[in-house]
Amino acid sequence: MAQNQEVRRHSYLTALTFEIEKKLQRALASPSHRVNSLQELFADVALEVDDRAQDIILSRDEDAISPATQPCYYDMLSDHFAQVPEDGKCIVDLIVKLWSQSFAANIFALLFHKWLFEVQIEDPEVLLRYSSALVQGATNVFWIDIQTNTRRFKSLFSHLLEDVALVETRLSKISLQAQRNLFLLLSRFILFYDSGEKLDSFLNKFPTFPNSFLVGSPADVFVIELSDQLQKFKVEPVLLNYLSKLNVLQGLELRMTTSTRLKACLYSFTSPGGPMYPTRAVRHAAWDTLDSLFPVGQYPRHVISTFFRLLYPWSDPIMLGEIDKTAQSIINNDFSHILCFWLVDTPSAPMLALRSRSCVV
């Protein structure tokens, strides 16, 4: 029974592989439809596995996966290509021919993030090209999760972190520059994918950087990447999620410049208006995180912030709206008082004007 299930699984995945090859060949043969074809293929491999396909692909043990961790087609295909590398060779060759096209790196990262660390690649230039495509494609798909506030590609991140970055034998298969790029990528998204508890192990495996004497320790590099990442977010739930998890940084030994950089990043989210235009929820979360990470000087910070909001009220949309309402109320009330005073004190003025006009006529 188990053998029959495995045969069905292999046949189904082989059929999917053939369909992927056909779509890549179609994209290669039709330059005008190349982008659309690759976009459709990327959407197909990123889809969640439907119930009918799960009965074929997954074993009984795997079928017990909860809906929250429902696998996607790229999960199944990446396992297949890692176990049967020759099935993916034709697809890799086709993707290489489409290297410069949009979504090519994304497809490569989804399908071959396990294969890359299982096969033996002798040519260092080819290995560097593959590892660069992996990092670029993973960056693109992680940003898709950021923009949609989903975790569809969490399994890709988990593999790169737990099975590559933290495993010396696999990490050493790629060049030192590729290792650096991979760790910088993981630094930007480790909190988004709820892996903050692995931060200590992650920092211990950090590769050396040529400018480390200027930048600092791995913790400094990590915080710099994280600070830059925070300022790129435009999705409020994602930003709130990051701010709520920055407490994992407590206890890290940072250089003064790195600490100041993080403090300035957080402080930019505490005031309304440009350049970040944070919502009220983000401002409160930023204050809480800032006070938690940097308790020294929190009261002077709040006093100074309040002072500048009073000094420059037009920088605060809420305060500016209140001032505008107050000014309109004062103008309307004063104008009505002046009009009433003039009408009461000079009741005959309109009549005199009327008589003078009638006399002239």
pLDDT in tens, 265-320: 998 898 887 777 889 999 999 999 999 999 876 667 666 666 556 555 545 554 44
Q: How far is C-alpha 34 from the geometric centre of its chain's CA atoms?
A: 27
- When computed from its CA atoms, the radius of gyration of the chain, rounded to whole angstroms, is 31
- Six token digits for residue 331: 């103008």
Distance CA 226, CA 265 (A): 10
The confidence score (pLDDT) of residue 356 equals 40
Instruction: Look at residue 163 and tell me whether its pLDDT is greater than 80.
Output: yes
- Given a cut of 90, is residue 190 above it in pLDDT? yes
pLDDT of residue 59: 57
**At residue 357, does pLDDT exceed 50?**
no
Measured torsion, CA atoms of residues 212, 218, 224, 229, in degrees rounded to the nearest 10: 130
Secondary structure E strands in the chain: none
Q: Which residues contact 274 (CB under 8 A, 6 or more apart)?
A: none
Confidence of residue 70 (pLDDT cuts 50, 70, 90): confident
Q: DSSP string of 70-85?
A: --BHHHHHHHHHHHSH
Which pLDDT score, from 0 to 100, does residue 311 have? 57
Q: Tell me which DSSP letter residue 118 carries.
A: T
Structure tokens at 235: 């999705």
pLDDT tens by residue, 97-156: 999 898 999 999 999 999 999 999 989 999 999 999 999 999 999 999 999 999 999 999
Say whether the peptide bond before residue 347 is cis (omega within 30 degrees of 0): no
Give buried/exposed letters for 105-129 (b at 16+ CB in 10 A, else e): bbbbbbbbbbbbbebeeeeeeebee
Instruction: Check if the beta carbon of residue 105 is closer than 8 Å to that of residue 133.
Output: yes
**218 pLDDT higher than 50:** yes
Work out the mean pLDDT of the chain and round it to a whole number.
83
CB atoms within 10 A of CB 328: 10
Cα separation, 94 vs 84, whole angstroms: 18
* pLDDT of amino acid 329: 54
* Residue 25: its H or E element: helix 2-29
Name the amino acid, one letter, at 49. Answer: V
Neighbours of 43 (CB within 10 A): 10
CB pairs under 8 A, 24+ apart, for 230-238?
A: 230/265, 230/266, 230/269, 231/265, 231/268, 231/276, 233/146, 235/146, 235/147, 235/149, 236/279, 236/281, 236/282, 237/149, 238/146, 238/149, 238/192
Encoded tokens for 287? 């204050």
